[in-house]
Every structure is written in structure tokens, then in C-alpha cells.
Amino acid sequence: MSLDPREMADDYVLGLMEPLEAAGFEARMEREPALARAVAQARDRLLPLDLSAPEAALPPGFAERVRAAIAAEPPAPTAANLPGLPARRWAPALAACAGLLAGLVLGWQRPEPEPLVIAVLLDDQGVPQAMVEDYGDDTAQVRFLADVAVPPDRTMQVWTLPSAEMGPVSLGILTEAAATRLEGPPLPRPAGRQLYEITLEPLGGSPTGRPTGPILGKGLAALQDG
Amino acid sequence: MTVQYIRPTDQGDLISALGACAAGQAEGIDTILRLEGGRLFGVARRMLGRGDLAEEAVQDAMVQIWRKAGQFRAEDGSARGWIYAVLRNRCLNILRDGRRLTTLAPEDLVALQEARQEAVPQEGWELLPGSGRLRDCLAQLDGEARHAILLAHVGGFSHGEIAGRQQVPLGTAKSWIRRGLASLRECLS
């Protein structure tokens, strides 16, 4: 993975990142204002390419259909409920929250082995949904932090991205939204900032071996001391 | 294709419209559709090759804009850039959702791919960036790098698809794009 934020911003804006890489990048953007700014600048640099598209008249009734679609949305987006508190500024609070949770979990865990990394997985509104503790011995513990509704024809699947070269790797599937211990394939020792996510997949898990469904939650791992 | 010039932006109106969306006022969506709807539909048709898919993409984008308007930061960049990025993401999701595209007949899929390809001509690429500095900077790039970048942005092609279309190994396509984008950043800074 490249390190220059402007290079990553360009790749992201052009749509050249792999889905999981893009998801991790979006999670970082929420926490790193400089990265969000680099992305906004990359968008504006390339915007003339969009504005050259010939205009085409939207079909009659389109605006009404959009109105109906947004009327069916849950009331008021999260950010609108939090005047003066941009989503990004919640990141430190969430991080502190994650730290607290991590501390609690470590307390409960003893004398069991301690996880090497912990990732709190947030949904697209920034709300914690689940937590993954990776023990680095090819086992991981998943706990849920919110009431998660899974459609009956879907399975939750847990993924991590050990490296851009390896791509996303499945840690296992969850049959219900309950604390579960997963035994995954042999993987390199988990690192700080490694991406974890849970997606909704067809029953039995992703048919392609890669995430295909909507993301329930995603987050970057925090390295645990000791 | 006719030469399109960039209209003076209605930047203030778009910022207000996003603010209205974030406050739960549907008028914000009406304003965005009135100012940019035709162009957004044009971008989606160019990338998706089909009117029905383009309509779906614009509608999905409007719902996303409604949900996420509170995340827009005017100090980082333009409202227009943010709005078109949401649309481009929806288009890319449709193009890369294998199951979504399997609902199309094989001949429709072929037509879709050809339309995307034709949207990014080797000759006459100058029409794509309009008349501003971006065109001057693109003109300074090697032809391969320029074409690869335009395939990605205008046609929504992935690294792998670009390598296939330009008949070079994946690593070569990636390095053309990386170097081209670095030159563009320098030229536009």
C-alpha cells in the first residue's frame, strides 16, 4: 500500500482501490482531516472530466420518485441530529470508547490469552456495531455492541486485510449476532491499523471467497500492549 | 459529442442545498436535481452505457446525498466535487457488482462495455477535460498514461480492465496511472 496521502486520494477518487482497501481508507478519512482534504482536492482536480458529460434530461416524474425514496428513509441523518458536531470530531470520543471497551474486555479475559489487536467495527453512520479481538494464533473473538438485524437469507462473514497483496481473507461466518470464537486460516501476525470488517453474505458465506455483500461494520485494529 | 464548457458554478446554492439535506429538508434534493440533475444523469449514462442503469445510479446517489450531506465540509473542497463523487461511487458499485450485471442479457452486457469504451476515445480526448488547466496538464502526459487515467475516471474501468484494454501487464498499467497522476498533481499545483 502506498504511503503518500495524495497518491492514495487519487486512487480512491478514481475508483482504483479494491473494495476492502477503499473501506479502510474511508474509515481513515473519518479520523484524519488531512486525508479527507486530500480526497476533496483530488475530486476537484478531476471534476472537469465529469462536467464534460453531455447533459441528458431525466425522465418525467424522476424528482417525485427521488422524493418518495428519501421519504422512506429513517428520519433525519445522524449528522443533522448533532448540530455543530461534525462526524469527524466524534472520532476521538469513539477511540476513547474503544479503549475503554478494550480495557474492560482485557479485564474479563484474564487469565485467558490476551488479544494482540482489537478492532471496533463501525457502521456507515459511525456507530459501533461489533468488536473483533484477534489473538494472532488464528483465532479471533467477535462480540456485538449493537442489536444487529440479519435478514433470514443472509450470513454474516468476518474479514481481515492482512496486506494489500493478500487481499481480504475470511476469518469465518457467524450464524447469529452473538459472541463467537472463530478459527480462521493461518495468517501473518495481526498488525496495528489492520482492517477488519463484517459483511452480509448469502447463506453459507461469500460464493467468491471475497466480500460481496453490504458492510455491517468496519474498523482498523488497535495494537494491544504487552 | 459536443464541446462542453464548464458553467460558472452555483457553488453557494449547492452548499445551501446540502445544508438543507443535512437538516432534513427535502427541498435540498430538489435544488441539487434542478442545478445538476441533467449533468449527473449524463455522467451516469456515459459510465454505465444504459439509461435504466443511469437512472438507478442517480436515484441511489440522491438517497446517499440525503443520508450523508452532514459529512460535507465546504472548507475541504467544492460541493459539486462532493456530489459528483457520490454519483461516481454509485456507478462504480453497479459496474462492479457482478450479481447486478448478471441480470442483463449477454448482448446487453457487450453493448454496455462498448458504450463505456467509446466514451473514452483515443482521438479527441481533449473534449473530456473541457478547456481548462486540466486539459493542458493532460496534454503533457504520455498517451498511454493519459488514456489509462481517462478510462478509469470517465469509463469507470478498474486497473485490471485497463491493463486488458491497453494489452499490457497489470503492473505496467498501474505504473502508467501512478506516474501520470503524479505529473498531473504537480502540473495542477
Domain CATH code at residue B162: 1.10.10.10
Domain boundary among B84, B107, B130: B107
Dist CA A165 CA A162 (whole Å): 8
- Burial readout B27-43 (b: 16 or more C-beta within 10 A, e: otherwise): ebbbbbbebbbebbbbb
C-beta separation of A66 from B29 below 8 A: yes
Same domain, B97 and B134: no
| Contact between A40 and B29 using a beta-carbon 8 Å cutoff | no
Q: Which three cell numbers stand for residue B34?
A: 434542478
Q: Are residues B127 and B78 in the same domain?
A: no
pLDDT given at position A101 = 52
Q: Do residue B127 and residue B170 come from a single domain?
A: yes
Q: Which CATH architecture has domain A89-223?
A: Sandwich (2.60)
Residue A2 has pLDDT above 60, yes or no: no
Query: With bands split at pLDDT 50, 70 and 90, how would you rate the model's confidence at A81?
Result: very low
Angstrom distances, CA of residue A67 to CA of B39, B56, B67, B139:
19, 14, 13, 42
Residue type, B149: I
- Restricting to A residues 134-153, those with a Cβ less than 8 Å away from any Cβ of B are none
Q: Are residues B65 and B100 in the same domain?
A: yes
List beta partners, residue A139. Answer: A183
CB contact under 8 A, A53 and B46: yes
pLDDT band at A1 (very low <50, low <70, confident <90, very high): very low
Task: List average pLDDT for each run of 10 residues in chain B, which is 189 residues long.
Answer: 45 91 93 96 93 94 94 93 96 82 79 83 82 92 94 92 90 95 94
Distance between CA atoms of residues B51 and B36, nearest Å: 17
> Do B133 and B98 share a structural domain?
no
pLDDT digits (tens, 9 = 90+) for A28-55: 888 889 999 999 999 999 999 999 999 9
In chain B, the number of structural domains is 2
Query: Is B83 inside any structural domain?
Result: yes
Last residue of a domain, which of B107, B142, B157?
Answer: B107
CA A29 to mean position of chain CA atoms: 11
* B128 and B155 share one domain: yes
Choose the mutation target among B36, B60, B181 for the interface with A, i.e. most A CBs under 10 Å: B181
Reported ipTM: 0.90
pTM: 0.64
Q: Is residue B187 part of a domain?
A: yes
**Do residues B16 and B97 share a domain?**
yes
What average pLDDT does chain A have?
A: 81
Same domain as B85, residue B127: no
Q: Are B141 and B167 in the same domain? A: yes
Whole domain around residue B73: which residue ranges? 11-107
Say if B25 falls within a structural domain: yes
| Residue A99, helix vs strand vs coil | helix
Question: By mean pLDDT, which of A14-23, A53-62, B58-67 is the weakest?
Answer: A14-23
Cell of A95: 477511540
Q: Name the residue ranges covered by the structural domains of chain A.
A: 5-69, 89-223
A44 and B121 Cβ atoms separated by less than 8 Å: no
B32 lies in some domain:
yes
Q: To which residue does cell 441511489 refer?
A: B60
Q: Is residue B15 part of a domain?
A: yes
- Is the alpha carbon torsion for A181, A187, A193, A199 positive or negative? negative
Q: State the DSSP code for A147.
A: -
B71 within a domain of the structure (yes/no): yes
Which of B58, B73, B107 is the C-terminal boundary of a domain?
B107
Q: In Å, how far are A5, A10, B93, B162 from B177, measured between CA atoms?
A: 16, 10, 21, 10
Q: Which residues contact B167 (CB under 8 A, 6 or more apart)?
A: none
Q: Which of A7, A17, A49 to mutate to test the interface with B (most CBs of B within 10 A)?
A: A49
Angle, in degrees to the nearest 10, between helices B170-188 and A33-51 = 90
Chain B residue numbers with beta carbons less than 8 Å from the beta carbon of A67 are 26, 29-30
